[in-house]
Structure 1
Amino acid sequence: MIFYRQNLSDYQLLDLYKKLLKPRLIEEKMLILIRQGKVSKWFSGIGQEAISVGITAALNQSEYILPMHRNLGVFTTREIPLHRLFSQWQGKANGFTKGRDRSFHFGTQDYNIIGMISHLGPQLGIADGIALADKLKQNNKVTAVFTGEGATSEGDFHEALNIAAVWQLPVMFVIENNGYGLSTPTNEQYYCENLADKGIGYGIESYILDGNNILEVYNKIQRLKEEMQENPHPVLLEFKTFRMRGHEEASGTKYVPDELMKQWALRDPVNNYKDYLIENKILTEEIDQQWKEEIRKEIDENLAVANAEPEIVPTYNGELDDVYKPFDYEEYSHGEEVKNIRFIDAIRNGLEQSMWRHRNLVLMGQDIAEYGGAFKITEGFVDAFGKGRVRNTPICESAVVSTAMGLSINGYKSIVEMQFADFVSTGFNPIVNLLAKSHYRWGENADVVVRMPCGAGTQAGPFHSQTNEAWFTKTPGLKVVYPAFPYDAKGLLNTSILDPNPVLFFEHKLLYRSIYQDVPTDYYTIPLGKAALVKEGKAITIIAFGATVHWALDTLAQNPEIEADLIDLRTLQPLDTETIFESVKKTGKVIIYQEDTLFGGIASDISALIMENCFEYLDAPVRRVASLDSPIPFTKALEDQFLPRNRFETILKELLQY
Structure 2
Amino acid sequence: MTNLMNYHKYSFDNDTLINLYKALVKPRMIEEKMLILLRQGRISKWFSGIGQEAIAVGSTMALENDEFIFPLHRNLGVFTTRNLPLHRLFAQWQGKENGYTKGRDRSFHFGTLEHHIVGMISHLGPQMSVADGVALAHKLSKEKKVALAYTGDGASSEGEFHEAINVAAVWDLPVIFLIENNGYGLSTPNNEQYRCDYLVDKAVGYGIEGHQVDGNNILAVYDLISKLAKDIRKNPRPVLVEAITFRMRGHEEASGTKYVPQELLDAWATKDPVSNYENYLLEQGILSETMIHEIKRHFKQEIEENLEIAFAEPYPTASEEKELADVYFPYQQEIIPPQAPSISQKRFVDAISDALRQSMQKYPNLVLMGQDIAEYGGVFKITEGFVQEFGKERVRNTPLCESAIVGAAMGLSLKGYKAMVEMQFADFVTCAFNQIVNYLAKVHYRWGANADVVIRMPTGANTTAGPFHSQSNEAWFFHTPGLKIVYPSNPYDAKGLLNAAIEDPNPVMYFEHKYLYRSISDEIPDDYYTCPIGKAKLISEGNEMTIITYGLCVHWAKQLLEELNISADLIDLRTLLPWDKDTVSESVKKTGKVLIVHEDTLTGGIGAEISAWISEHLFKYLDAPIMREGSLDTPVPFTRTLEEQFLPFKRMRTKMIELRNF
Partner of 1:435: 440
Correspondence for 2:399: 394
Paired residues for 1:28-39 under 5 Å: 28-39=32-43
RMSD across aligned C-alpha pairs, in angstroms? Answer: 0.7
Residue 76 of structure 1: aligned partner = 80
SS of the equivalent of 1:288 reads helix
- Residue correspondence of structure 1 range 307-322 to structure 2 within 5 A: 307-322=311-326
Corresponding position: 1:105 with 2:118: no
8 Å CA contact 2:103, 2:315 repeated in 1 = no
Q: Does 1:66 align with 2:50?
A: no
Following TM superposition, by how much is the alpha carbon of 1:331 offset from its aligned partner in structure 2, in angstroms? 1.8
1:265-297 deviation per Cα after TM superposition (whole angstroms, max 9, x unaligned): 000001111111111111101100110010000
1:138-178 residue CA offsets vs partner (Å, 9 max, x unmatched): 11100000011000000000000000000000110000000
Contact 1:5-1:215 at 8 Å conserved across structures: no
1:287 partner letter:
M
Question: Of residues 606, 610, 618 in structure 1, which corresponds to 2:622?
Answer: 618
SS of match in other structure, 1:543: strand
In structure 1, distance between residues paired with 2:645 and 2:100: 53
Alpha-carbon distance in structure 1 between the residues aligned to 2:110 and 2:644: 49
User: Helix, strand or coil for the counterpart of 1:296?
Assistant: helix
Distance 2:393 2:8 in 1: 41
**Rounded Cα–Cα distance in structure 2 between residues aligned with 1:522 and 1:630:** 42
1:237 is aligned, of 241, 246, 271, to: 241
After TM superposition, give the deviation of residue 436 of structure 1 in Å: 0.6
1:569 to 555, 563, 573: 573
Q: Is the 8 A contact 1:353 1:523 kept in 2?
A: yes
> SS of the counterpart of 1:283?
coil
Whole-Å separation in 2 of the counterparts to 1:331 and 1:318: 26
Q: Specify the code of the residue in structure 1 equivalent to 2:652.
A: F
Match status 1:602 vs 2:587: no
1:556 Cα offset (Å): 1.6
Q: Aligned partners of 1:410 and 1:185: how far apart in 2?
A: 37
CA distance in 1 between partners of 2:560 and 2:113 (Å):
54
The answer to whether structure 1 residue 270 and structure 2 residue 274 are counterparts is: yes
1:342 aligns with 2:352: no
Q: Conserved in 2, the CA contact under 8 Å of 1:529 and 1:575?
A: yes
Tell me, what secondary structure is at the counterpart of 2:233?
helix
- 2:428 alignment partner in structure 1: 423
Secondary structure of the structure 2 residue equivalent to 1:422: helix
Aligned residue among 356, 366, 371 for 1:351: 356
Residue 2 (structure 1) aligns with: 6
2:556 is aligned with 1:546: no
**Residue 7 (structure 1) shift:** 3.7
Checking the alignment, whether the CA contact within 8 Å between 1:4 and 1:216 is kept in structure 2 is no
Shift of 1:349: 0.3
Q: Does 1:591 align with 2:556?
A: no
The CA distance in 2 between the partners of 1:226 and 1:22, in whole Å, is 26
Q: Do structure 1's residue 280 and structure 2's residue 284 form an aligned pair?
A: yes
1-side partners of 2:315 and 2:343: how far apart? 58
Contact 1:87–1:95 (8 Å) recurs in 2: yes
Out of 191, 200, 210, which is 1:196 matched to? 200
The corresponding residue for 1:11 is 15
Q: 1:407 aligns with which of 390, 403, 412?
A: 412
Which residue of structure 1 lines up, in the alignment, with residue 511 of structure 2?
A: 506
Which blocks of at least 5 consecutive residues in structure 2 are unaligned? none
Question: Which letter maps to 1:430?
Answer: Q
Q: Secondary structure at the match of 2:643?
A: helix
Identity over the aligned pairs, expressed in percent? 63
TM-superposition CA deviations, 1:483-524 (whole Å, max 9, x none): 001000100000100111100000000000011111100101
1:477 aligns with 482
Tell me the equivalent position of 1:638: 642
Match of 2:656 among 624, 638, 652: 652
Question: By how many angstroms is 1:226 displaced?
Answer: 1.6
Instruction: Give the letter for the 1:474 counterpart.
Output: H
Q: Specify the alignment match of 2:495 in structure 1.
A: 490
In 2, Cα distance between equivalents of 1:321 and 1:230 = 43
Which residue does the alignment assign to 2:374? 369
The answer on whether the counterparts of 2:111 and 2:447 sit within 8 Å (CA) in structure 1 is yes
1:501-540 matches, within 5 Å, as 501-540=506-545
Please report how far the alpha carbon of residue 557 of structure 1 lies from its aligned counterpart in structure 2 after TM superposition. 2.1
Q: Are the counterparts in 2 of residues 42 and 103 from structure 1 also a CA contact under 8 Å?
A: yes
Aligned to 2:165: 161
User: How many residue pairs are counted as aligned between the two chains?
Assistant: 657
Residue number in structure 1 paired with 2:89: 85
1:5 shift after superposition: 5.5
Matched with 2:183 is 179
| Residue 56 of structure 1: aligned partner | 60
Out of 121, 126, 129, the residue aligned to residue 125 of structure 2 is 121
Q: Tell me, what secondary structure is at the counterpart of 2:523?
A: strand
Question: Do 1:422 and 1:454's aligned partners in 2 also have CA atoms closer than 8 Å?
Answer: yes
* 1:252 counterpart = 2:256: yes
Per-residue deviation at 1:6?
Answer: 3.3
CA distance in structure 1 between the aligned counterparts of 2:337 and 2:608, rounded to whole angstroms: 35
Residue 418 of structure 1 contacts residue 450 of structure 1 at CA under 8 Å; is this kept in 2? yes
> Matches of 2:261 and 2:520 in 1, distance apart?
69
TM-score under structure 2 normalisation? 0.99
CA distance in 1 between counterparts of 2:314 and 2:618 reads 42
Output the TM-score relative to the length of structure 1: 0.99
Distance in 1 between the 2:334 and 2:209 partners? 47
Distance in 1 (alpha carbons) for counterparts of 2:83 and 2:585: 53
- Pick one of 120, 138, 161 that aligns with 1:134: 138
Per-residue deviation, 1:358: 0.4
- Shift of residue 392 of structure 1? 0.5
Asked if 2 retains the 8 angstrom alpha-carbon contact of 1:481 and 1:505, the reply is yes
Query: Secondary structure of 2:7's match?
Result: coil
Aligned to 2:229: 225
Deviations along 1:317-351, one digit per CA (max 9) or x if unpaired, are 11111000111112211132111110000000000
Mapped contact 1:66–1:115 kept (Cα < 8 A): yes
Give me the whole-angstrom Cα distance separating, in 2, the residues matched to 1:20 and 1:625: 63
**Correspondence 1:320-331 to 2 at 5 A:** 320-331=324-335
User: Hey, what's the Cα distance between the residues in 2 that align with 1:330 and 1:7?
Assistant: 59
Per-residue CA deviation, residues 531-579 of structure 1 (Å, 9 max, x unaligned), is 00000001110111000000111112212x3101000000000100100
